[in-house]
């Protein structure tokens, strides 16, 4: 069965365009407005939505995304409600969705059941931040992903032999970190990002999208020029934080994101 992620990259390649992957925390600032934000990003021209599954201990996230997870949890978000959010989004939009999560919520839910329910709800991929793929391969219960593409993270400091392993196991696209550290605004993308992408691409034909530290149209254009696309997360989530009390928060997010998307499409 064709996966929406693969189909999206095939379409982008045929048009000579790069991908814009937009990250938001599912259920932030509440479930209803989170759906509105997802729809606004889709209609602004995002190619893929990355939904952060709220978790109490998001260790790979900076303060902006940690606060977003806290707001979502306070508003009642959990794995089942994230799946319901996806089902509601699927009533009107076909944009690929990747779940960005930690192993704890997945394992607590039930590894196989989580993947099956996510796929049935309409998710297309999953990025398990703290589950190394070689360790997953040693656990038979973690072998079946129920059709979800397994997205891999690769950092600039990853050793070449590890890059080869991760790239060989990647599906959908590879999330290449532009720098080390947690998510958030700790400086812009590394000047060596082009070399980082090239080092990954020697081992795989899977598209490579770059994230971390991209918050302006100029940065978006620069990074997309040396990759297959970009991931923007904290900068978008910050807009949700700034306008979380506003009924039109989705419009605020769309207004902020549209120039970034335009920069990627024009690169």
The domains of the chain are located at 4-266
Q: Is 61 one of the annotated active-site residues of the chain? A: yes
Question: Does pLDDT of 1 surpass 90?
Answer: no
Distance CA 100, CA 9 (A): 19
pTM for the whole structure: 0.94
Report pLDDT for 181. Answer: 52
Q: How does pLDDT run across 88-115, given as a tens digit for each residue?
A: 999 999 999 999 999 999 999 999 999 9
Token output for 27: 């259920």
Catalytic, 50? Answer yes
Q: Evaluate the CA torsion angle 96, 249, 241, 258 in order and state its sign.
A: positive
Residue 186: pLDDT band (50, 70, 90) is low
The whole-angstrom separation of Cα 46 and Cα 58 is 25
Reported as a single tens digit per residue, the pLDDT across 155-176 is 989 999 999 999 998 899 999 9
Phi/psi at 127 (nearest 5 deg)?
Answer: -120, 105
* Given 6, 17, 47, 61, the catalytic residue: 61
Question: Comparing 146 with 29, which gets the higher pLDDT?
Answer: 29
pLDDT attached to residue 212: 87
**pLDDT (mean) for 13-27:** 97
pLDDT tens by residue, 57-92: 887 788 999 999 999 999 999 999 999 999 999 999
Catalytic residue, chosen from 50, 117, 124, 241, is 50
Residue 189 pLDDT: 66
**Residue 216: what pLDDT?**
95
Superfamily of domain 4-266: Aldolase class I (3.20.20.70)
pLDDT of residue 247: 94
Burial of 84 (0-12, 13-18, 19+ CB in 10 A): middle
Query: Quick check: 234 pLDDT over 80?
Result: yes
| Closest residue by Cα to residue 216 from 266, 156, 248, 264 | 264
């Amino acid at each position: 069965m064709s996966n929406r992620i693969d189909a999206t990259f095939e379409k982008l390649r045929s048009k000579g365009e790069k991908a814009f992957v937009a990250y938001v925390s599912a259920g932030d600032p509440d479930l209803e407005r989170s759906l509105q934000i997802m729809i606004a990003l889709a209609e602004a021209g995002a190619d893929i939505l990355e939904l952060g599954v709220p978790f109490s201990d998001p260790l790979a996230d900076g303060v902006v995304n940690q606060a977003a997870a806290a707001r979502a949890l306070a508003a009642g978000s959990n794995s089942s409600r994230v799946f319901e959010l996806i089902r509601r989004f699927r009533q009107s939009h076909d944009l690929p969705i990747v779940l960005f999560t930690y192993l704890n919520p997945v394992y607590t839910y039930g590894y196989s059941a989580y993947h099956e329910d996510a796929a049935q709800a309409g998710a297309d991929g999953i990025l398990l931040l703290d589950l190394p793929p070689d360790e997953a391969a040693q656990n038979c219960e973690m072998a079946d992903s129920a059709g979800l593409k397994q997205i891999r993270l690769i950092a600039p400091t990853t050793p070449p032999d590890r890059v080869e392993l991760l790239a060989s196991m990647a599906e959908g696209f590879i999330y290449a970190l532009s720098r080390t550290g947690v998510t958030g605004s700790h400086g812009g993308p590394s000047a060596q990002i082009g070399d980082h992408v090239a080092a990954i691409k020697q081992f795989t034909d899977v598209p490579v999208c770059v994230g971390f530290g991209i918050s302006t149209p100029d940065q978006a254009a620069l990074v997309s020029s040396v990759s297959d696309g970009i991931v923007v997360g904290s900068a978008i989530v910050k807009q949700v934080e700034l306008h979380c009390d506003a009924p039109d928060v989705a419009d605020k997010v769309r207004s902020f994101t549209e120039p970034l998307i335009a920069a990627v499409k024009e690169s």
